[in-house]
Amino acid sequence: MSPSDALSNSPETAPKASRVLTAEEKAALRERMARLMTPEEFAQLLGEFQENVAKVIAITESLLESKQS
Q: Where are the alpha helices (DSSP H) in 1-69?
A: 3-8, 23-35, 39-68
Give the per-residue pLDDT at 6.
54
Is residue 1 pLDDT above 60, yes or no? Answer: no
65 lies in a domain?
yes
61 lies in a domain?
yes
pTM for this predicted structure = 0.55
1 lies in a domain?
no
Classify residue 16 by its DSSP letter. Answer: G
Q: Please tell me which residue, 55 or 9, carries the higher pLDDT value.
A: 55
17 lies in a domain?
no
How many domains is the chain built from?
Answer: 1
Give the per-residue pLDDT at 54.
99
Residues of the domain holding 65: 37-69
Is residue 60 pLDDT above 70, yes or no? Answer: yes
Is residue 43 pLDDT above 70, yes or no? Answer: yes
Alpha carbons 25 and 34: distance in angstroms, whole number: 14
